[in-house]
Structure formats: C-alpha cells, structure tokens
C-alpha cells in the first residue's frame, strides 16, 4: 500500500528521527498525497481539519493518529505499532459531507469556502451582532409583533455538519448526531433576543442566508473550521456535494468516542 504522511499541517518526505514515521516507513511505500492510496495524519483535531480541507479533492481516505490533546477525530496507536497495514484495512471508514459557504464582502467581492465541522459568524468586539436569517427562502426566526421579520441578536450563529455536532455546536447547546445522519444544525451562540432562540435542525438540501445588520458598527468575523474572514456582509451556507472519508479503528470507533464525550467517566 502506498501512503502519504502529514505531521500537523506539513507534508513529510524525510521521515528520519520520528519513531512513528520510521515505523510506517518500514511497512509502506511513502509517496506524495497525489500518489497515495491513503493519507495518514499525525497530529490533533486541528490537523485533521486542515488536511481534509486541503486534500479532499483527491478522493482518497484519511486515517488520523493522535499526537495532539483531545484527538476526537483521530485514533490512539503506539509509535512502534507492528502491523499498521491490518489496522488501516480493518478500520471503519465514514464518509463525511462538507459544508459550502459563499461569502459576500463589503467591497462586493465573493468567496466560496468549505468546512468539515462548522461555519459560524461571531462578534469581533464587545457589541453583539444582528443577523437577518433566511432558511430556504423563509424568515428563519419568524416575525415580530409588528409583522416584521424577526432579527437575531447575540454573540453569533453557527451551522454544523453531523460530525461537527460534537464540537462547537455541542458546547453551544446543540445536540450530537451520528455521522450518517443526513441532518444539519443551526445553533445560536449566546442569544440576546429572541430569548428563546434554540438549535434548529436542518434537512439535507437546506439553504441558510445570513445578512449582517449594521456590519460597520457591529464588527463580526466568519469562521470556517480554523479559517477566519472579516468584512463579510452576507454569507450563504448549504450542504456541499464534497465529502471526506475518515477511518476509525475498531477499538476506538466514532460511536465510542461520542459516548465517551457524553459520559466522561467511560474508558
């Protein structure tokens, strides 16, 4: 099997001096990502997000080995594991859909972005942001008592994928979904009004449009996983046709990781 190795966010072709990479070098032919059958990532969750974003167009699977802190999207293996080939072959590979975002900036320019976990718009300074939100062409928060579209005010709003539901979304009050659930979530970040604003579940094929109200006064930043963009006046988020295939070891499956996150006392 031909594999590519990426440590953190850096491609490694000279593997000397690292026990894990030297172990892999003895068991596989090490090639560039464009020539590989599998991309092996050594690092943390941030590394997974970066590498999947950069190389998802290659259409080959990824397998993460945790060398970071939490490592929710990675697997635990000793540096001198004697049979990585069997581990890679017996792993369960989940296909994760990405989010697509289209950003419109103050100067009129546009940019298309993709995210593995979530796309959020958040306040940049002390003042809360205001958003006009449309979901599938309809007012996302209904109407106020003046029969006007209800605006959102708060620290921000995020839209997440099923796999992203375990990250920022979960900590902001959203729920955890399975990797194969064909559903998405829109979750408020510290809502000011409407006071009862809670997570909304979005069907596949959704389209969320968020227009910044008073963007010059209420400065904001758009974050797609670990990439940031400012001076955005409108963003449109929808399900992307792009996907990423990520492997999990049988003893460290995605569902077991979710259970451990919900029940920290589990081993």
* Cis ω for the linkage preceding 128 (within 30 of 0): no
In Å, the largest CA–CA distance within the chain is 70
Hey, what long-range contacts does 167-175 have (CB within 8 A, 24 or more apart)?
167/72, 167/117, 167/118, 168/117, 168/118, 168/120, 169/118, 169/199, 170/261, 173/198, 173/199, 174/199, 175/199
Structure tokens at 135: 């979901």
Clarify whether 45 is annotated catalytic: yes
Q: H/E element holding 51?
A: helix 45-55
From the candidates 9, 45, 80, 230, give the one annotated as an active-site residue. Answer: 45
Q: To which residue do tokens 């510290």 refer?
A: 190
Cα 6 to chain centroid, rounded = 19
Q: E strands of the chain, at which residues?
A: 2-7, 10-11, 29-30, 38-43, 62-66, 92-105, 110-115, 118-123, 129-135, 138-139, 152-160, 183-193, 200-203, 207-213, 220-224, 227-230, 232-248
Burial level of 213, CB count in 10 A (0-12/13-18/19+)? middle
Residues annotated as catalytic are 45
């Amino acid at each position: 099997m031909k594999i590519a190795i990426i440590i953190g966010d850096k491609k490694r072709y000279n593997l000397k001096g690292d026990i894990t990479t030297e172990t892999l070098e003895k068991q596989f032919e090490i090639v560039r990502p464009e020539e590989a059958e599998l991309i092996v990532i050594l690092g943390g969750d941030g590394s997974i997000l970066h590498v999947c974003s950069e190389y998802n167009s290659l259409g080959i699977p990824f397998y993460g080995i945790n060398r970071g802190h939490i490592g929710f999207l990675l697997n635990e293996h000793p540096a001198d594991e004697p049979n990585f080939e069997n581990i890679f072959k017996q792993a369960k590979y989940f296909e994760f859909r990405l989010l697509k975002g289209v950003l419109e900036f103050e100067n009129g320019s546009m940019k298309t972005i993709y995210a593995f976990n979530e796309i959020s718009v958040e306040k940049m300074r002390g003042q809360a942001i205001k958003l006009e939100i449309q979901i599938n062409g309809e007012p996302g928060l209904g109407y106020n008592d003046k029969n006007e579209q209800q605006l959102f005010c708060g620290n921000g709003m995020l839209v997440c994928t099923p796999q992203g539901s375990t990250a920022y979304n979960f900590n902001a009050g959203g729920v955890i979904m399975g990797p194969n659930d064909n559903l998405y979530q829109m979750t408020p970040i510290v809502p000011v009004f409407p006071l009862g604003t809670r997570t909304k579940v979005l069907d596949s094929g959704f389209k969320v449009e968020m227009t910044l109200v008073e963007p010059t006064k209420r400065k904001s930043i758009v974050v797609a996983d670990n990439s940031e963009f400012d001076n955005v006046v409108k963003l449109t988020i929808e399900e992307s046709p792009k996907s990423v295939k990520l492997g999990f070891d049988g003893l460290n499956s995605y569902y077991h990781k979710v259970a451990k996150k919900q029940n920290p006392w589990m081993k």
